[in-house]
A and B are shown apart, each in its own frame.
Chain A
Amino acid sequence: MANLKDIRMRIDSTKNTQQITKAMKLVSAAKLRRAQNNITNMRPYAITLKKVIANITATQKVSHPLMKKKDNVKNVLLIVLTSDRGLCGGFNSGINKFAEKYYQDNKPKLAKLDFIFIGKRGLDYFARRDIKGIQSFLKLDKEISYDLAKGVAENLIKFFLDGEYDEIRMVYNEFRSAISQVVTCETLLPIEVDKPSLDAISRQASNDIIFDPSPEAIVEDLLKKNFNLQMYRAMSESVASEHGARMTAMENASNNAKEMINRLTLTYNKARQEKITTELIEIVSGAEALKV
């Protein structure tokens, strides 16, 4: 039986840990709300933009190099989106495992498979396996902004148009809810445009649209904007997922700490009771001895 002082110290230190995990949970909850707002604010923009693109491409029969699929995919760029900090459950390890498996499965088939790491966790994980990315971005959760996403996206478009890569894919955590995040792998480029289901009347109407400047120039710009937005969306989802995952992890940690404190308190009380009983017996037997 550990002595009373040891047990008391353990209880105290567990209490401290519990306080920290509780605080972290609250911070994550606040950040999660902000990140969720980000996603909902962006949704109308994204939906309108997609509709416009689909309308133009369907009615004006324009195509664009960014939409051209290559038959023989040889060079692939994989973007790995993780967080900078840990303590968020399986958030990062899920992504890293997926990316590593992708690497092992596809490396022999492809001529070139390169990585871009966004977030420190992914960068470190692959650095330990001697895989270096061609670029990396850190501090996503603090400085997430449309401009940052735009910068990354413009870089990617350049890579793709220069023909350096035939396909650009991204793995990230899609935000379902605060407790559920799903590892997703998406093809970013070439861009896939969904076919709109236009009825005859609206098709007639869209044929009469005035374009200023030409439809081709507008499609080019819209596609790029849409791509920037996709990037921003993925980043926002990843940040929201991170906070969601951390919130859940910290909630669990707080519960575990509470359980541990209960257990320790019970042991402590038992030990204390035992000590008192022993002392009483000693006194009583001492007194009995004196009587005789």
Chain B
Amino acid sequence: MKLNVLTPEKKVLVNQEITEITVPVQSGERQILPGHVPMIASLGTGVLKYKIAGSDIQNKFVISWGYCEVNPEGVNILAEFIMSKEEVNEDSARSNIVANKIKLVNEILTDADYEIALNEIQKSESALTL
């Protein structure tokens, strides 16, 4: 099973052979193993986990807003935002959570802004779990 992870600004992974992948979809998490039926799912914010063929280590990314297409050849992931463990800055993630929580409590937000703030919190929380 091949994995492609793409964002508009860069190619993160291209034709990587994997044995399993877990994607955060909007209704929860989905694990995809070789031979999965074709699927198109919209992704939520969370942690993407996959195992490279021939290795037992689980690789992880924080991912937010995107698409996952499963076809017989493999999995294509189109994401708008992606962050690897090396890019995570714990301090800024923590302060981001606090700042957005304060925003949620104290400010009157439009629906769209409310969602953005929630998403930011989720993003930073997932980043801390990497």
Task: Give chain A's interface residues, CB within 8 Å of chain B.
Answer: 38, 41-42, 44-46, 48-49, 52, 56, 145-146, 150, 205-206, 208-213, 217-218, 221-222, 225, 228-229, 232
Interface of A is mostly: helix
Provide 5 A-B residue pairs closer than 8 Å at the C-beta atoms, listed in order of the A residue. Answer: A146-B8, A210-B37, A210-B39, A211-B40, A222-B67
Q: Is the CB of B9 within 8 A of A38?
A: yes
Interface of B is mostly: strand
Check A210/B26 contact, CB under 8 A, given A42-B9, A49-B78. Answer: no
Task: Give chain B's interface residues, CB within 8 Å of chain A.
Answer: 4, 6-11, 14, 25-27, 30, 37-42, 67, 69, 72, 76, 78, 80
**Which of A44, A45, A209, A225 contacts B39 (CB under 8 A)?**
A209
Q: Please list the 4 inter-chain residue pairs (A to B) with the smallest Cβ-Cβ separation, ordered nearest first.
A: A212-B41, A210-B39, A45-B6, A209-B38
Q: Is the CB of B27 within 8 A of A213?
A: yes
Instruction: Kindly provide the distance from the CB of A105 to the nearest chain B CB, expressed in whole angstroms.
Output: 34
B14: nearest chain-A partner, CB-CB: A44
Residues of A within 8 A of B78 (CB): 45, 48-49, 52, 225
Q: Is the CB of A212 within 8 A of B69?
A: no
Q: Is the CB of B42 within 8 A of A212?
A: yes
Residues of A within 8 A of B67 (CB): 49, 52, 218, 221-222, 225
**Which of B9, B25, B30, B39 contacts A41 (CB under 8 A)?**
B9
CA distance A217 to B14 in the complex (A): 27
Q: Is the CB of B38 within 8 A of A208?
A: yes
Residues of B within 8 A of A228 (CB): 8
Q: Is the CB of B27 within 8 A of A212?
A: yes
CA distance A217 to B41 in the complex (A): 10
Interface centre among B4, B11, B40 (most CB of A within 10 A): B40
Check A44/B38 contact, CB under 8 A, given A49-B78, A52-B69. Answer: no
CA distance A38 to B7 in the complex (A): 11
Q: Is the CB of A56 within 8 A of B40?
A: yes
B76: nearest chain-A partner, CB-CB: A48
CA distance A56 to B39 in the complex (A): 11
Check A48/B69 contact, CB under 8 A, given A212-B27, A213-B42. Answer: yes
Residues of B within 8 A of A48 (CB): 4, 6, 69, 76, 78
**Which of A44, A222, A232 contacts B11 (CB under 8 A)?**
A44
Residues of A within 8 A of B7 (CB): 45, 146
CA distance A228 to B9 in the complex (A): 13
Residues of A within 8 A of B41 (CB): 210-212
Residues of B within 8 A of A49 (CB): 67, 78
Q: Is the CB of B8 within 8 A of A45?
A: yes
Check A42/B8 contact, CB under 8 A, given A210-B38, A212-B25, A218-B40. Answer: yes
Instruction: Kindly provide the distance from the CB of A141 to the nearest chain B CB, expressed in whole angstroms.
Output: 16
Residues of B within 8 A of A146 (CB): 7-9, 80
Residues of A within 8 A of B10 (CB): 41
Q: Is the CB of A212 within 8 A of B11?
A: no
CA distance A201 to B51 in the complex (A): 31
Residues of A within 8 A of B11 (CB): 41, 44
CA distance A222 to B8 in the complex (A): 13
| 13 further A-B pairs in the complex, CB-CB below 8 A; given A38-B9, A52-B69, A210-B38 | A52-B67, A52-B78, A205-B38, A208-B37, A209-B37, A209-B40, A210-B37, A211-B41, A212-B25, A218-B40, A218-B67, A221-B42, A232-B8
B71: nearest chain-A partner, CB-CB: A205
